[in-house]
Amino acid sequence: MASMAATSIFALSLIPSSRLLKIEIPKSRSFLALNYKGLKVNHRRFIAVKASAPGLYSAGQFELTAENVDKVLENVRPYLIADGGNVDVVSVEDGVVSLKLQGACESCPSSTTTMKMGIERVLKEKFGDAIKDICQVNDEQVTETTAVNRHLDILRPAIKNFGGSVEVLSVVGGDCLVKYEGPDSIGSGIKAAIKEKFTDIVNVEFASIV
């Protein structure tokens, strides 16, 4: 399964997403398998890609929102689904896109390759410099993000009194990304509170606010 996933996503990386919707098939021939410059794309995958939202791909690049990211990923999903996986958009905040691989893709040893060679390439092509980072999260990390947010509830009244706000965007490995507005002194307290409670978090960064 790992080799199949790696092969499929490598195949995806070879085809610019702008050309995935432009493959034409002669009506007179069967297309159980389509030879595209030596790359075989089976009937099931081609039809799924063909079904992607056409309006979205009429523009070169467009606004970075969770809805648009989800639509762009429709070009990737057929390859993942064919190998027993899928991908969900967890959040899009301040240029940081958090994604969760599902099914076979989540536990597959080549999941990092899937992210780097397929998903990230397509997203960066469509959103350009609007994307600051793309994070892969799992169920445990999503739960930890929720836990850190709940822990910060004890600081939110003080932050609100100063006209500020705080929200944990993602926790990946030992890195915690936080959206924070408010005084620097309270910001330092937020970082200390997170590290003290969650000892596996070694780095707390505040996301850039444009």
Question: Are 42 and 32 within 8 A, CB to CB?
Answer: yes
Give SS3 for 138.
Answer: coil
Q: Residues 6 or more apart from 33 whose CB is under 8 A from it?
A: 40, 41, 42, 43
Q: Please tell me whether residue 51 adopts helix, strand or coil conformation.
A: coil
Q: Which pLDDT value is given to residue 109?
A: 54
- The pLDDT score that the predictor gives to residue 52 is 39
- Token pair in block for residue 133: 């980072």
Residues 141-184 have pLDDT tens digits of 776 888 899 889 888 888 888 888 999 999 988 899 999 998 88
The pLDDT value recorded for residue 62 is 76
Can you give the pLDDT at residue 110? Answer: 58
Q: What is the pLDDT of residue 30?
A: 37
Q: Are domains 2-136 and 139-206 of this chain identical in fold?
A: yes
Per-residue three-class SS string for 147-192: HHHHHHHHCHHHHHHCCCEEEEEEEECCEEEEEEECCHHHHHHHHH
Architecture of domain 2-136: 2-Layer Sandwich (3.30)
Q: What is the CATH number of domain 139-206?
A: 3.30.300.130
- Tell me what pLDDT residue 168 has: 92
Higher pLDDT, 105 or 40: 105
Query: How many whole angstroms separate alpha carbon 202 and alpha carbon 100?
Result: 22
Alpha helices in the chain (DSSP H): 2-14, 43-50, 66-72, 77-82, 104-107, 111-113, 120-127, 139-151, 156-161, 184-197
Q: Residue 205: which pLDDT band, with cuts at 50, 70 and 90?
A: very high
Higher pLDDT, 109 or 81: 81
**What does the pLDDT average to over 116-132?**
86
Q: Which pLDDT value is given to residue 195?
A: 92
Domain spans, the chain: 2-136, 139-206
pTM of the entire structure? Answer: 0.46
Q: Is pLDDT at 50 greater than 70 in this prediction?
A: no
Mean model confidence pLDDT for the chain: 72
Q: What is the pLDDT of residues 61-84, one digit of tens each?
A: 778 998 999 999 998 888 888 878
Residue 44: its pLDDT value, please?
A: 36
Residue 81's alpha-carbon distances to 74, 78, 100, 202, 208, in angstroms, are 11, 5, 14, 35, 34
Q: What is the per-residue pLDDT for 33?
A: 36
Output the pLDDT for position 191. 93
